[in-house]
């Protein structure tokens, strides 16, 4: 995989996490002007952060910004034997997404610098970086992450049929609205990581950065928002590929 694609994924994911983790900081950290401004603020920001990230890298890398998306693209190329997206691309994209997420989280740390010391609860500080469950239950938290990411990949891949070109502004907006509605509809349980890099990259930075008054990085939970999205992404791709591409679309074609 080329260095240019790596840089593209880094830059796109950096913007996603800067704006996405940024809104959680704005809503949770003490004295922020966006303090306690609600679920619509958080979900709208994450949706439009996806839009912004695709604007940056969509035309160059497809702007996965999410290892679950990259896994689905990899599976798609494997089953079709295109040879266009092999293991080197899989690993290269994953690395770019992780690096980008870590840079984005660091920028959030800097952007809200004076607010960390003003905030008492260390749990809120972790929540800016990484997700945590509303009710801690490893089995069902995993199910939630699987279902959320299933919807992301299944509907997101379908968007290509509806939009023609994923990298157009229509496609960028479509993916943004999709992440908005996943947040609104399915985010109440685990905070919809639905993206291993979005959760693990910032969690590493939470552990590393000198955040005033920080607490545990909750490593015990950290595998759920990594494993769940990868399973959900693979499932979403499988239902899309065998359900839509191979079954429905082969018979009906675009209407």
Interface segment toward a copy of itself; rule CB under 8 A; list 94-102, 132-140, 201-209, 222-230: 132-140
* 245: contact with a copy of itself by CB under 8 A: no
Window 54-83: residues binding a copy of itself (CB under 8 A): 54-62
Window 5-44: residues binding a copy of itself (CB under 8 A): 5, 7-8, 11, 15, 18-20, 22-23, 25-27, 29, 31-35, 37-41, 43-44
Window 136-165: residues binding a copy of itself (CB under 8 A): 137, 140, 143-144, 147-148, 151, 154-155, 158-159, 161-163
Size of the site for a copy of itself (CB under 8 A): 97
Judging by beta carbons within 10 Å of its beta carbon (0-12, 13-18, 19+), is residue 55 exposed, middle or buried? Answer: middle
Looking at the Cβ atoms of 40 and 87, the one nearer to a copy of itself is 40
The CA distances from residue 150 to 10, 37, 64, 228, in Å, are 24, 29, 15, 10
Query: For residues 176 and 52, what is the distance between their CA atoms, to the nearest angstrom?
Result: 8
Window 89-118: residues binding a copy of itself (CB under 8 A): 107, 110-115, 118
Phi and psi for 207 in degrees, rounded to 5?
A: -70, -35
Interface segment toward a copy of itself; rule CB under 8 A; list 81-89, 93-101, 217-225, 245-253: 245-253
Structural contact between residues 72 and 157, judged by C-beta atoms closer than 8 angstroms: yes
The sign of the torsion formed by the CA atoms of 110, 115, 117, 119 equals negative
Least distance between a copy of itself and beta carbon 236 (Å)? 11
């Amino acid at each position: 995989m080329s260095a240019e694609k790596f840089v593209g994924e880094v830059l796109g994911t950096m913007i996603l996490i800067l704006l996405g983790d940024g809104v959680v900081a704005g809503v949770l950290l003490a004295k922020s002007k966006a303090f306690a401004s609600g679920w619509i603020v958080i979900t709208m920001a994450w949706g439009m952060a996806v839009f912004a990230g695709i604007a940056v890298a969509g035309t160059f890398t497809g702007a996965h910004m999410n290892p679950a998306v990259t896994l689905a693209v990899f599976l798609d190329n494997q089953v079709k034997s295109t040879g266009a997206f092999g293991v080197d691309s899989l690993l290269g994209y994953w690395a770019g997404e992780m690096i980008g997420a870590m840079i984005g989280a660091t920028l959030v740390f800097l952007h809200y610098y004076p607010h960390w010391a003003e905030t008492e609860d260390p749990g809120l500080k972790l929540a800016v970086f990484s997700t945590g469950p509303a009710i801690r239950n490893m089995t069902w938290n995993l199910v939630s992450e699987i279902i959320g990411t299933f919807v992301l990949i299944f509907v997101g891949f379908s968007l290509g049929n509806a939009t023609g070109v994923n990298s157009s502004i229509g496609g960028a907006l479509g993916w943004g609205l999709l992440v908005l509605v996943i947040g609104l509809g399915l985010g109440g349980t685990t905070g919809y990581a639905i993206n291993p890099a979005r959760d693990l990259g910032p969690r590493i930075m939470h552990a590393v950065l000198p955040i005033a008054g920080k607490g545990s990085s909750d490593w015990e939970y950290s595998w759920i928002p990594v494993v769940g999205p990868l399973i959900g992404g693979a499932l979403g791709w499988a239902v899309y590929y065998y359900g839509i591409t191979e079954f429905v679309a082969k018979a009906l074609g675009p209407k």
